[in-house]
């Protein structure tokens, strides 16, 4: 059987390093995200109208097919 060699890392207390300033970039500080979902609202309204009309047609047909 192989012997398992466990190595321990020894750390010594060192003086804390001062925090450096973040690197400056050329991009704006706040990026605006303003999505436009008007087409989604229109599509959902169309789907709702179609679903309602299909259910209404099915209810009306159920009276005639009895």
Count the alpha carbons within 13 Å of 27 in the hemisphere toward its beta carbon.
5
Tokens found for residue 57: 């047609």
Tokens found for residue 15: 């003086």
The residue assigned the tokens 């979902």 is: 37
Tokens found for residue 62: 């159920």
Per the structure, the count of domains in the chain is 1
Asked whether residue 62 is domain-assigned, the answer is yes
At 15 the pLDDT is 65
> pLDDT tens-digit profile of 8-66?
776 666 666 666 766 666 766 788 888 999 999 999 999 999 999 999 999 999 999 98
Asked whether residue 27 is domain-assigned, the answer is no
Cβ neighbours around 35 below 10 Å, total? 5
At 33 the pLDDT is 87
Asked whether residue 51 is domain-assigned, the answer is yes
Domain that holds residue 57: 37-66
> What is the pTM (predicted TM-score) of this model?
0.48
Asked whether residue 20 is domain-assigned, the answer is no
Check the CA dihedral 6-7-10-16 and report its sign: negative
């Amino acid at each position: 059987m192989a012997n398992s060699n466990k190595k321990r890392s020894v750390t010594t207390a060192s003086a804390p390093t001062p925090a450096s300033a973040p690197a400056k970039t050329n991009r704006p500080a706040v990026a605006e995200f303003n999505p436009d979902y008007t087409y989604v609202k229109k599509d959902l309204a169309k789907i709702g109208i179609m679903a309602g009309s299909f259910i209404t047609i099915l209810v009306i047909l159920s009276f005639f097919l009895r």
